[in-house]
Amino acid sequence: MREINGVLPVLAVPFMNDGSIDLDSIPRLVEHCITSKADGVVIFGLASELYKLNDIERITILKKVISAVDSRVPVIVGTEHSGTQAAVARSIEAEKLGASALMLYPPTFVKPDEANVLSYFKAVGSAVTIPVIIQDAPAWTGVPLPVSLLSRIINEQPNVNHIKLESPPIGDKAKLLKPLGFQIISGYGAIHLMEELTSGIDGFMPGCSLPGIFVQINELFHSGEIRNARTLYEMILPLLTFQLTSLDTFIEIQKLLLTRMKIFTTSHCREPHIPISSERIAYLNLLLSQIGLKELEGVKV
């Protein structure tokens, strides 16, 4: 079983302008991440517009991702559902199709108490043999996951042993969870990446448009070149801050960049969607021109 660590970009789902899935762009996106030396890919994270997909589309997309990856890196698959039985069914299907690990946030439609959160993750974990990542994102889900509850989950279901922390600052919680056996993954658009690397995270899930930059930062940090890692991080920080204005903005910027790099055919986001204003697009182009990275040479959205 392959380790789930390092740089794990969350794949955006490409659509044509009529809202249909652009299957031809998926292999290009996977190749973009793998040739940039990403350590794995994530499909059906929040940045995948997973809440706009039906189950048939999810299976079609997952099969395309698994085929394009061709066992070169781990594939982490989001299988959350507001119903426990439905989450179990999605998880079994994802493992059957070739997922290396699963990622789920707790049910959100009916806010669960701790007993229901525990039974949810135990049901999923016991139904599969691969690792399960708990997505701890209370700002999105409205469901807090205290350390005491997480301790019970990993003790009672040992393959639920990774956690993606998305409620910064994560350092204190990570230090409490690490001795319990959790592998720590950070998210939140990598906006606090240097602080999180310093706290000893095992991996992180940035956007998928510029994975090579995050690979460079990660390699520099772990080779002891922390000042150079910080310089590169600070270079892209204005972009990270801008795109995290909202989840909609984050997704659209990933797609705008991927379209300009000829990886996606269009930057279409399915409705409901609030597009970025022309004034903010102008500011985004100013940021891109000022960053001065090779990956962004000539890129204007």
What is the pLDDT, as a whole number, of residue 297?
Answer: 67
**pLDDT tens for each residue of 176-222:** 999 999 999 999 999 999 999 999 999 999 999 999 999 999 999 99
Of 40 and 108, which is predicted with more confidence? 40
Check pLDDT > 80 for residue 296: no
Q: What is the pTM of this model?
A: 0.96
* Helical (H) or strand (E) element with 204: strand 203-204
Domains of the chain: residue spans and CATH = 6-211 (3.20.20.70)
pLDDT at 291: 84
Q: What is the dihedral of CA 158, 164, 170, 172, to 10 degrees?
A: 0
**Residue 245 pLDDT more than 70?**
yes
Residues 6+ apart with CB under 8 A from 47: 10, 11, 12, 207, 208, 247, 250, 251, 254
Nearest residue to 235 via CA among 223, 247, 220: 220
- Confidence at 2, pLDDT banded by 50, 70, 90: confident
Average pLDDT over residues 239-255: 96
End-to-end CA distance of the chain: 40
Calculate mean pLDDT across residues 79-95: 97
In this prediction, residue 69 carries a pLDDT of: 98
Average pLDDT over residues 218-228: 98
Residue 240 has pLDDT above 70, yes or no: yes
pLDDT above 70 for 1: no
Residues 133-191: pLDDT tens digits? 999 999 889 999 999 999 999 999 999 999 999 999 999 999 999 999 999 999 999 99
Please report the pLDDT score of residue 216 as a whole number: 96
* Mean model confidence pLDDT for the chain: 95
Max Cα separation, the chain? 53
